[in-house]
Structure 1
Amino acid sequence: MGNSIGASGPVTMRCSRPAAIAHYFTAKSWIEGLALEQLAELTRLPGMLSVAGFPDLHPGKYGPVGMAALSSRLYPQLIGNDIGCGMAFFELDMPQRKFRIDKAATALRELENIGFDAPDIAKFAPLADLEADVESLGTIGGGNHFCEIQSVEELLQPDAAELLDRQKLYLLVHTGSRNLGASVFDRTIDENGAMTDGLDPASEAGMTWLTRHDLCVEWAVLNRQMIAQRVAEVLRTDVRLIADVPHNLVRRHTDGYVHYKGAAAVQSGGVAPIAGSRASLSYIVQVLSAAAKSHWAISHGAGRKYDRRNMHGRIGVTRSEREALLRNQWGGIAICDDRKLAVEEAASAYKNAGQVLEDLAGHGLVRPLASMKPLITYKKTSVDHDELKRDRVRDRRMSGRRKNG
């Protein structure tokens, strides 16, 4: 078999005519060369019809992150192990004048310890042997996942006031299907190997993955809802969903299947968040009809500029530097007890979300509505050593499979 997507070494060229490729970014957005190479590799995969790259494009483990790809075949590895990962944006029924950052941060440290009435998960019965555990709902996870209390920094359109109130608080939740998506991904690899040529959607393997995938997407939506409910409980307020936009999934299309990897799956006229970092602005945008040309996909955030390993030694070397990472210019607080994660997720690890927005708007995909400033960013209150061990084992397994084809 040929090399897996994004693997090092020579690439097996299996398609004589590459798929169409479109870049929805400008020279102002710094794009790493490896990410462009990975994007180009996608165009040569069997069944690939069209590929789009966005200004948050950066290299990924199994292919580029920040892209949408239309194919007649299914490529589960392009979606990866966090199936259904996305961002949900909520309004909190709490005025800013009553909000105290330090007091709220102390309360939010108990976020994942708050109990809730278990939801009905009967529809997820087909995933019962794949860690579809109700106890994992309402949890953030690791990596770049977070939930964040925000307020409006600036309304960028006169009609934005119809959606957003400068006197209110908002909640942005970024997480996915937790261990469930990882279990589905591992099981799919065990059953089908590296899937270098993808899966036939009409095959048993293709239909099995799609069924599991769809349930993971629903599980991730439910997870974001449960986190929002926990935040509301901690802050003693109510919460209202404004938009839930996934960015790691497949959607059926008249010509095949669109693979969204780190690209928000949107719809015309819909509202979507574009996340910055815990020390930079995020943005709320309205999707324009021209996004049809990009497979109804846009950037979901700023995208990484430096990988996790390269952040160590670059920042957070001293105790004072590490403490500074947990504060921002608006007096906001980051809740992250994992020093390693705090360094890896520093604001300087990410690109400029404002430039991402400028590129998307310049290509006619979105209309900026508002900028949002971070007040409290919740990531992790304790280090989950079992989770770190599982991640290392999974990485070793996948590395071995890529080497062996």
Structure 2
Amino acid sequence: MGNSIGTSGPIVVRCGQPAAVAHYFTSKSWIEGSALEQLAELAKLPGMRSIAGFPDLHPGKYGPVGMAALASRLYPQLIGNDIGCGMALFELALPQRKFRIDKAANALRELENIAFDAPDVAKFAPLFELGANTEALGTIGGGNHFCEIQAVEELFQPDAVELLDRQKLYLLIHTGSRNLGASVFNQTIDENGAMTGGLDPASKAGARWLALHGLCVEWAALNRRMIAQRAAMALRTDVRLIADVPHNLVRTQADGYVHYKGAAAIQSGGIAPIAGSRASLSYVVEPLDAAVKSHWAISHGAGRKYDRRNMHGRSGTTRSERKALLRNPWGGVAICDDRKLAIEEAAGAYKNAGQVLEDLAGHGLIRPLASMKPLITYKKISVDHEEPKQDRMRDRKALRRRENG
């Protein structure tokens, strides 16, 4: 399924309620029909005022992913259980000329075992009642989260050299508040039900969720900094934060509450990463003032084309294919001992990040600064057991099916 959105500016659709839906993508972006339906349904929610959909739009459990929605009420389900998830870009004080991928990959395998001094977490006291602990800080989590060493592939603007250096290495970290967002979300559901009409921000329930949500957003940003610290220690270098951009959160503003679900919450004068996959380019962009029309939101990455279940059988059906999934065209490697996760997070699961970039730039939301190539992508370490007999049998069956056409 695709879409029929044109290429000349955002399409605005009235959906029977005051909310307007703006599409910041073109017909070149593959958008699943059910995602468009979910986007239209959001406009019918009480208090919904304006919605923006981006090129990485895809269906989600409680609503579409890859959108920003302004409302007078709070909708915790639109943010989901990974409150504060985001991406942070860091500069490493490690020149490319001294970098050896295999040596660095071996060092990074110990990433989550490296000890560090725990930061002051007294302000997070309400989260400790929900299971927060400092041992979870500095850990990646599962799913599409990662820690990736990158290098500049191409600079698109002359002034991009003021921010990025071809001779240096960079760290892109994608993760959230770990289990805390889920704890807050589940508690909110238990106490308030499905919340189909949202929460009144002035109510006790609304104020409580908003306060806990804010702590989760801060905890997630702290987690990304701790991961960066661990990575720098593993590589025996220093690290400097360039940008931290969350994409699962609510921002309070004068005319309501902007819900960002899988949409980067950007700001004027900053920069933002747009992630590709472990075998495709990522990008660094500068938000433009025109992004005010999209609620200061853009895509945070390529967005999924196939869900996790549908990736099994599409990729990694043989041992050699699964091994190939851990390499990329730039000689980079992925650290992922979980065979299931490696298949579900294969590059083919994601849309074309370059097209996402083109659509956002075409709508005047961003100025592309650089493309970044992945060198090492850390996802998950586990005990690497020998493949079981049934896996080897499945490999042989897959090869026979291919040989027989």
TM over 0.5: yes
Is 1:241 aligned with 2:218? no
Map Cα deviations across residues 113-156 of structure 1 (whole Å, 9 max, x no partner).
00010111000011221111110000000000001000000000
Counterpart of 1:275 in structure 2 is 275
Counterpart of 1:345 in structure 2 is 345
The two structures, once aligned, show a CA RMSD in angstroms of 1.0
Counterpart of 1:370 in structure 2 is 370
- Amino acid paired to 1:219: W
- CA change 1:142–1:383 in 2 (3 A) is farther
Map Cα deviations across residues 136-186 of structure 1 (whole Å, 9 max, x no partner).
000000000001000000000000001000000000000000011111111
In structure 1, how many angstroms separate the alpha carbons of the residues matched to 2:16 and 2:25?
27
In structure 2, how many angstroms separate the alpha carbons of the residues matched to 1:303 and 1:237?
32
Tell me the SS of whatever aligns to 1:315. Answer: coil
Map Cα deviations across residues 78-126 of structure 1 (whole Å, 9 max, x no partner).
0000000000000000000000000000000000000010111000011
In structure 2, how many angstroms separate the alpha carbons of the residues matched to 1:128 and 1:276?
34
- Amino acid paired to 2:290: A
Counterpart of 2:3 in structure 1 is none
In structure 1, how many angstroms separate the alpha carbons of the residues matched to 2:273 and 2:297?
13
Taking only the aligned residue pairs, the percentage that are identical comes to 84
Map Cα deviations across residues 48-74 of structure 1 (whole Å, 9 max, x no partner).
000000000000011000000000000
- Amino acid paired to 2:248: N
**Once the 2 structures are TM-superposed, how far is the Cα of residue 17 of structure 1 from its aligned partner?**
2.1
Counterpart of 1:305 in structure 2 is 305
Counterpart of 1:326 in structure 2 is 326
Counterpart of 2:180 in structure 1 is 180
- Amino acid paired to 2:206: G
Counterpart of 1:12 in structure 2 is none
Map Cα deviations across residues 195-247 of structure 1 (whole Å, 9 max, x no partner).
01000000000000001000000000000000000000000000000000000
**Once the 2 structures are TM-superposed, how far is the Cα of residue 16 of structure 1 from its aligned partner?**
4.6
Counterpart of 2:61 in structure 1 is 61
In structure 2, how many angstroms separate the alpha carbons of the residues matched to 1:258 and 1:338?
36
Tell me the SS of whatever aligns to 1:119. Answer: coil
In structure 2, how many angstroms separate the alpha carbons of the residues matched to 1:67 and 1:148?
25
Counterpart of 1:79 in structure 2 is 79
**Once the 2 structures are TM-superposed, how far is the Cα of residue 31 of structure 1 from its aligned partner?**
0.1
Tell me the SS of whatever aligns to 1:240. Answer: strand
Tell me the SS of whatever aligns to 1:185. Answer: helix
- Farther off after superposition, 198-207 or 18-27: 18-27
In structure 2, how many angstroms separate the alpha carbons of the residues matched to 1:340 and 1:111?
21
- CA change 1:383–1:64 in 2 (3 A) is farther
Counterpart of 2:96 in structure 1 is 96
- CA change 1:41–1:18 in 2 (3 A) is farther
- CA change 1:383–1:344 in 2 (3 A) is farther
In structure 2, how many angstroms separate the alpha carbons of the residues matched to 1:272 and 1:127?
28
Is 1:169 aligned with 2:172? no
Task: Spell out the pairing of 1:257-272 with structure 2 (5 A cutoff).
Answer: 257-272=257-272
Tell me the SS of whatever aligns to 2:139. Answer: coil
**Once the 2 structures are TM-superposed, how far is the Cα of residue 18 of structure 1 from its aligned partner?**
4.6
Counterpart of 1:202 in structure 2 is 202
**Once the 2 structures are TM-superposed, how far is the Cα of residue 383 of structure 1 from its aligned partner?**
7.3
Counterpart of 1:401 in structure 2 is none
Tell me the SS of whatever aligns to 1:343. Answer: helix
**Runs of 4+ off more than 4 Å:** none
In structure 1, how many angstroms separate the alpha carbons of the residues matched to 2:160 and 2:118?
36
In structure 2, how many angstroms separate the alpha carbons of the residues matched to 1:19 and 1:243?
32
Tell me the SS of whatever aligns to 2:200. Answer: coil
- Amino acid paired to 1:145: H
Query: What runs of 5+ residues in structure 1 fail to find an aligned partner?
Result: 1-14, 385-405
In structure 1, how many angstroms separate the alpha carbons of the residues matched to 2:195 and 2:346?
35
Counterpart of 2:36 in structure 1 is 36
What count of residue pairs does the alignment treat as equivalent?
A: 370
- CA change 1:54–1:16 in 2 (3 A) is closer
- CA change 1:251–1:109 in 2 (3 A) is same
- CA change 1:383–1:174 in 2 (3 A) is farther
Tell me the SS of whatever aligns to 1:167. Answer: coil
Counterpart of 1:381 in structure 2 is 381
In structure 1, how many angstroms separate the alpha carbons of the residues matched to 2:158 and 2:139?
36
In structure 1, how many angstroms separate the alpha carbons of the residues matched to 2:349 and 2:192?
35
With normalisation by structure 2, the TM-score equals 0.90
**Once the 2 structures are TM-superposed, how far is the Cα of residue 382 of structure 1 from its aligned partner?**
1.5
Tell me the SS of whatever aligns to 2:93. Answer: strand
**Once the 2 structures are TM-superposed, how far is the Cα of residue 268 of structure 1 from its aligned partner?**
1.4
Query: What runs of 5+ residues in structure 2 fail to find an aligned partner?
Result: 1-14, 385-405
Is 1:128 aligned with 2:125? no
**Once the 2 structures are TM-superposed, how far is the Cα of residue 269 of structure 1 from its aligned partner?**
2.3
Map Cα deviations across residues 258-305 of structure 1 (whole Å, 9 max, x no partner).
000000000112100000000000000000000000000000000000
Tell me the SS of whatever aligns to 1:94. Answer: coil
- Amino acid paired to 2:350: Y
In structure 1, how many angstroms separate the alpha carbons of the residues matched to 2:201 and 2:246?
21
In structure 2, how many angstroms separate the alpha carbons of the residues matched to 1:203 and 1:313?
48
Counterpart of 1:398 in structure 2 is none
In structure 2, how many angstroms separate the alpha carbons of the residues matched to 1:196 and 1:317?
41
- Amino acid paired to 1:265: A
